[in-house]
Structure 1
C-alpha cells in the first residue's frame, strides 16, 4: 500500500440473522471468515487487528476488545482509538469478503488532511464499515454515545466525510443470512477455480 496505516476487521456483531457467529464460519481455504479477512488485509496493511467483544479466534491475531458493554460499530470505533495510539485506521466488516485490494486502494486515494472519514458508497447506499476513520471523530463519537445514538450514518453526517462512489453493489455484499453465505462460498470457489 502507498501509506502506512493499520486496519481493523469488525467482528463483534451478534450475527442474529445468520444463527451462528459468522466471523467463525469457514471461508475459502481458511477455517473462518475472520481468518480469511485477516490474511487478505495483512498483505495490504502494516498491522491488522480484529475488533470484538472477546478473543474467540483460533488463529494468531491481535484483538481490540470493546471498552464498553454495548455492542455497535460506534463502540468498536471508540475502542480502537482508546486502545491504539494511531491517527487513522481502515475498517472493514468481517462479513464483506468481496471487498478487494483495488477497492481499498481506490478509497485511500481519496484521502485529504481535512477529512475525518472516507467511506465507500455503492448504488444501494453508503458502506460505513468499509473506509478510513480518523481520531478527529472521537469528540463526535462520544457526543453520539452520550445521546445513545449508535448509528454510524448519523456520525458520517456530522463529520467531514467523503463518500467515494463505486458502480457496483456486489463487492460490498454482506453475508447476513445462511443463503447469502452459501452463495458467497459458491461464488468464491467458482472465481478461484
Structure 2
C-alpha cells in the first residue's frame, strides 16, 4: 500500500440524515466504532491527509485527532461539502466517500486509487446495474471541482448529472453490494446483519 501524497480523503458526513432519522455517521456497523470513524481510519491509510466534512454542530462529536472541514453552506447537497474542501485546499485532488456506505473495504479504495486517471476530471465507481457514476465514491481532480463550481453557478446542483456531462473514468466494483448506501433504518439493519454473517 503506497500513501498518495497528492490526494486528500474526505468523508461526507454533514447531511441531515432525515430518512435515517439519526446521524448516519454515528451508526455502528463494526463493533463499537462509529461508521464515521471507521471510514476515517480507512482513508488515513491511503491519503496524505483525511478530513471529515461536517456541519458546525457536529464538530463536538468528533474524536480527538479527527480533522474536519466545516461545511461553508454556500451550496445545497453533497457538492456543498466537496466544494468546501476544495476551497480549503484548491490544489488537491479529493477521494470522496459518503458516510453511508457500510460495505466499503480497503480493497474498494485501493482499486479506486489504482484505476485513477489523472487525465480525466474524475474517476468514479459505477454499478453494473445503473451504469451511472457514483459521485460520492470517487476521486475528484482539482480541475473537476473548479468546473463543478461553474455548474452550480449555472443553477445546477446534482453531482451525478455533472459527472455524466464530463470526461470521466468509470470503474466497476467486484460486487455491486460494495456501493450499497444505507438511507433508511431497514437498510442499516440489513447491512449490519450481512456484515455480521461474514
**TM-score, normalization by structure 2:** 0.87
- Runs of at least 4 residues off by over 4 Å: none
CA RMSD after TM alignment: 1.8
Aligned residues: 191
Match of 1:122 among 119, 127, 133: 127
Alpha-carbon distance between aligned partners in 1 of 2:78 and 2:22, rounded to the nearest angstrom: 19
Further displaced range: 140-149 or 5-14? 140-149
2:169 is aligned to 162
**Gaps spanning 5+ residues in structure 1: where?**
none
Q: What's the offset of the Cα at 1:6?
A: 1.7
Residue pairs, 1:90-129, within 5 angstroms: 90-125=95-130, 126-129=133-136
Contact preservation (8 Å) 1:24, 1:33? yes
Distance 1:56 1:139, change over 3 A: same
1:46 to 21, 24, 48: 48
CA contact (8 A) 2:90 2:142 kept: no
Equivalent in the alignment of 1:15: 17
State which of 54, 59, 62 in structure 1 corresponds to 2:63. 59
Decide which of 174, 189, 194 is 1:187's aligned counterpart: 194
Does structure 1 conserve the Cα–Cα contact (< 8 Å) formed by 2:76 and 2:157? no
1:78 aligned partner: 83
1:166 Cα deviation after fit: 2.7
SS at 1:23's partner residue? Answer: helix
The TM-score with structure 1 as length reference comes to 0.89
1:136 to 123, 143, 158: 143
